Structure 1
Amino acid sequence: MTLLNSDRRVAWLLGIAGLLPFIGASVLAWWAPAVWQVTAIYGFTYYSAVILSFLGGVHWGSALQVPRPGNTRRLLLAMVPSLIAWPALLFDIVTGLWVLLAGFMLIGGYDLSREGREGFPSWYFKLRGLLSVVVVLLHCVVLLRLSG
């Protein structure tokens, strides 16, 4: 099943729009009044955990969509982002952000693997690659703010 061009455009627009909370919170973490900076950093962290969990759900859905060898493994691996994201919220904020950053890098690596690419159109990985790079860089921006 392939998406229509209009569906592909919507997927790209929604993906890019999904960066807005990351971008907004990163900006606020640096330049907002102190009270808002704290809220922005926590908001960034919570949103990060939600999105990381969502990425695992993408692979869960893919494994259920088309029966193929290795689906059991893929279903198990699809749980890993949630199992990284949830405990990250229990750590102190800096440790949690490092854990989330590692989680995004791990799921990005899995997305690039042969198994991770199965069932997805090639354009999806251009979108995921762009989104992953921006999200990782924004984690670094917020971590830099916390180190200063």
Structure 2
Amino acid sequence: MARMESEKRLAWSLGLAGLLPFIGGGLAAWWAPPVWQVSAIYGFTYYSAVILSFLGGIHWGSALQVPRDNNVRRLVLAMVPSLIAWPALLFNTVTGLWVLLAGFLLMGGYDISREGREGFPKWYLILRCVLTVSVVMLHFVVLGRLSL
């Protein structure tokens, strides 16, 4: 039991730490010297694509670990985030950020669906909701900067 609690704390710590590049990029997009703002926005966008792809990997791994009736669909859906993230990097930055934001919302919706949450502990779903809401809000921070 202590090991599970320790893993839960570690997962929360790592998940929240994963927000730091989003937060740093969002803040730098507004308040860094202008020449750094461009790099911050690109860095935010690329990191967003990487993390969105990572979310698909979570479901891929889950499908391979636990036999379920819906594993074929879960494996296919696990590829969707990468297929959203990669082309988002080929669009102009504003369009790409909107596509990535939509990808996070889609994955968040799947994560809380009956099928998506199957096999995951309740605390993990709470963590995913906290992270998804934070990431979506930070996308709006950067998109707000780009709309000026």
TM-score of the superposition, structure 1-length normalised? 0.98
- 3-state DSSP class of the match of 2:123? helix
> Matches of 1:53 and 1:42 in 2, distance apart?
17
CA distance in 1 between counterparts of 2:32 and 2:128 reads 30
Aligned equivalent of 2:103: 103
Partner of 2:74: 74
TM-score relative to the length of structure 2:
0.98
Q: How does 1:20-31 map to 2 (within 5 A)?
A: 20-31=20-31
Residues 1:6 and 2:10 aligned together: no
Alpha-carbon distance in structure 1 between the residues aligned to 2:4 and 2:122: 14
CA apart distance, 1:71: 0.3
Query: Per-residue deviation at 1:70?
Result: 1.0
Counterpart position of 1:91: 91
State the match for 1:112 in structure 2: 112
Distance 2:25 2:68 in 1: 40
Amino acid at match of 2:62: S
Which secondary structure state, in structure 2, belongs to the residue aligned with residue 4 of structure 1?
A: helix
Q: Secondary structure at the residue paired with 1:129?
A: helix
The equivalent of 1:45 in structure 2 is 45
Aligned twin of 2:62: 62
Match for 2:25: what amino acid?
A
Q: Structure 2: where are the runs of 5+ without partners?
A: none
Q: Percent same amino acid at aligned positions? A: 76
1:125, 1:76 → 2: CA distance? 21
CA RMSD of aligned residues (A): 1.0
1:91 alignment partner, SS class? coil
Distance in 2, matches of 1:63 and 1:125, equals 17
Question: Counterpart of 1:142?
Answer: 142
Structure 1: gaps of 5 or more residues: none
Aligned counterparts of 1:68 and 1:13: Cα–Cα separation in 2? 29
Corresponding position of 2:16: 16
Query: 1:12, CA displacement in angstroms?
Result: 0.3
After TM superposition, what 4+ stretches of structure 1 lie above 4 angstroms from structure 2?
Answer: none
